[in-house]
Structure 1
Amino acid sequence: MSSERPTAVITGGSRGIGRATGERLAHAGYDLVLLSRDEARLAESAAYLATSGVTVRHAAVDLADDRALVAAVAGLGLDRVDALVHAAGIVHTGQLPRTTTEEFRLAFDVNVTAVASLTRELLPALKAARGRVVMLNSGSGKRANGPNTPIYVATKFALNGLAESLRHEFRPHGIIVSTVAPGRVDTDMQHELVAGLGETYDAASYLSASDVAAAIVHVLTQPGEIDYLSIRPPARG
C-alpha cells in the first residue's frame, strides 16, 4: 500500500468482530488488509469497507494452513503495518472424553499457532511502523467457567501467555502488544458456543461486535500502552 494512511491487518475480517473493527478503522482513516477463509464473504466485506474511501485489500486463506498463510503474507508485500488485529478464532464444546486429538490440533492451529505465525511474518513491517498488535481473547483466557470447553479454554490460556511473552519481546522495537478480552458477544461464534453448551441464546444481554470493535480501536489509538483490556456487557437491572 502506497498511501500515507496507516495500514491495519485484520484476521476474521469477513464477519463479526473482525468486520466491525475494519469498519471503525476505515472511518478512522486506516487502509485495510482483511484475511479470512470465506472468500465470498471476504470480498463482500472488502467492497463494503472500501466505500469509506480507504484502500481495502483482502486474501482468502485458511489460518490453519501455515504454508498458505506464509504465502499469503508474502503475496501482500506489506512494507509497514501500523496495526495487526487477531480477531479470527474457532470454538469447540464438549467434555474431554468427547474430544479428539485432531480437534485439539485444529483449535490450537487457528487460535494460537496462526496468531504467532502471522505476527512473525509481519514482524519486519510492524517494526518499520512501530506498530501495535491486538489479540482478541476472552474471559476464558484467565478462568474456565464450566466443564464443557477444555479445548477452547486451553487455547485462550495459551493465547494470553503468547501475548504476555511477545509484549516483553517486542517492546524494545517500539511494538505494543495488547489483549482485548470481551465477555459474551452477539456473533455467529457465540451462537455456536451457546448451542454447544445447551444454553439459551440471549442477544440482549451480550455485547455487540461494534462494542468490542470500539474497544479494539481505543486500544490501538491510545498514546499510552494498554496491556490487557477486559470488557463486559452492562449489568441488567
Structure 2
Amino acid sequence: MRIMVVGASQGLGRAFIEGLGDSGDGLIGVSRSMPSKLRERPGIAIDWIAADLASPEQAAAQVAEAMAGGKLDVLIYNLGLWESRAFEPDYRFLADSPAEIQCIVTVNVSGAILLIQALLPALLRSAAPRIILTGSTSALPGHGRPEVTFGATKFALRGIAEALREGFREHRLGITCLQLGYLNTEDQLSVPLEQAARRGDGELIPMHDVVSLVRTLLTLSPSAYLKEVVMPAIGDTRF
C-alpha cells in the first residue's frame, strides 16, 4: 500500500508518517521541508516531496510530477491553517486581516481541491483508492466556535467529499471526512498512550487514537468505507 500524507512535518501529520503502514508499504510525506529526527521504520519506505500548499497550483504540479506514472492507494489531506488567535478567549473575527483569511482559504480549500485533482490519476490506478480529509468538529452544526474562516473551510471539506463521491462513484473511490475535536499534539507517539491521555484531563484527544482509527479505516475491504467519523474528546461539553 502506498500512502501519501499532506502536511506531514509535525503534529498529527507526522504521527501518521510514524504510525501508519506495515512492512512492505510505502509512505510519502508532503510538506515544505522534511522534519529532522524522523523515526526509522524497518520494512517501510518513506519518501518526501517538498511543496508549499500556500502556492497550491505550483505545489499540485510538483507533487503530480513526482508521482507521474505511479500508483497511490491512499491520500490523507491533513493540512489546515487557522486564525492566529483561533481557540483563544480573545479571538475576534473583526480583527482577522484579509491576508490571513485569504491564506487560510487558499491552503485549506484551494490546496485540497487542486492537489486531489492532480493526484486522482495516480489514485484511480489503485484497486481500492481512498481519500481521507482531516476535518474538524468546527464543521458540524452547533459546533459552538466563533472562528469564521477556519469553520467555513472545514465545512468546505464536506462539500468536496460529497461531490467527489458522486463524480467518481464508478471508480469506487472511498472518501472519509475525519471531524476531529481538540487534539493533544504535545505528546508524540513515542509517549505511552496512557500518559498522553492524561494531558488535558479528558478535553484533548491523543494523536495515538487518531492514528489507530485511520489504521482501522485502511483495513476495510474495497466494498466498504466510512463516510464521516466524528471524534470529539470525551470531556468536550459541546458534544
Q: How far off its partner does 1:7 sit?
A: 0.5
1: distance between equivalents of 2:112 and 2:62?
14
1:161-215 Cα deviation digits (max 9, x unpaired): 1111112212211211111111111126xxxxxxxxxxxx936531111211211
Query: Following the alignment from structure 1 to structure 2, what is the Cα–Cα distance between the partners of residues 99 and 144?
Result: 22
Higher helix share: 1
Q: Which residue of 1 aligns with 2:97?
A: 100
CA distance in 2, matches of 1:101, 1:208: 33
Q: Secondary structure at the match of 2:178?
A: strand
Matched, 1:33 2:24: no
Structure 2 contact 61–118 (Cα < 8 Å) conserved:
no
Q: CA deviation at 1:87?
A: 1.0
What is the CA deviation profile of residues 114-156 of structure 1, one whole-angstrom value per residue up to 9, with x for unaligned ones?
A: 1111111110111100410000101111235445311111111
Please, which of 76, 87, 106 is the counterpart of residue 78 of structure 2? 87
Q: Assess if the C-alpha contact under 8 Å between 2:202 and 2:235 holds in 1.
A: no
Q: What are the residue-to-residue correspondences of 1:1-237 with 2, within 5 Å?
A: 6-27=1-22, 29-37=24-32, 39-41=33-35, 44-45=37-38, 48=39, 50-78=40-68, 79-92=70-83, 93=86, 94-129=91-126, 130-143=128-141, 145-146=143-144, 148-187=146-185, 202=200, 204-223=202-221, 224-235=224-235
What is the TM-score when the length of structure 1 is the normalising length? 0.82
Contact 2:56 2:107 survives alignment (8 Å): no
Fraction of identical pairs, as percent: 27
Using structure 2 for the length normalisation, give the TM-score. 0.81
Structure 1's consecutive aligned runs of 4 or more residues displaced over 6 angstroms after TM superposition are: none
Partners of 2:41 and 2:218 in 1: how far apart? 22
Distance 1:124 1:108 in 2: 25
Matches of 2:24 and 2:209 in 1, distance apart? Answer: 19
Distance across 1 between alignment mates of 2:60 and 2:116: 10
1:234 Cα deviation from its structure 2 partner? 3.0
- Counterpart of 2:124 in 1: which secondary structure? helix
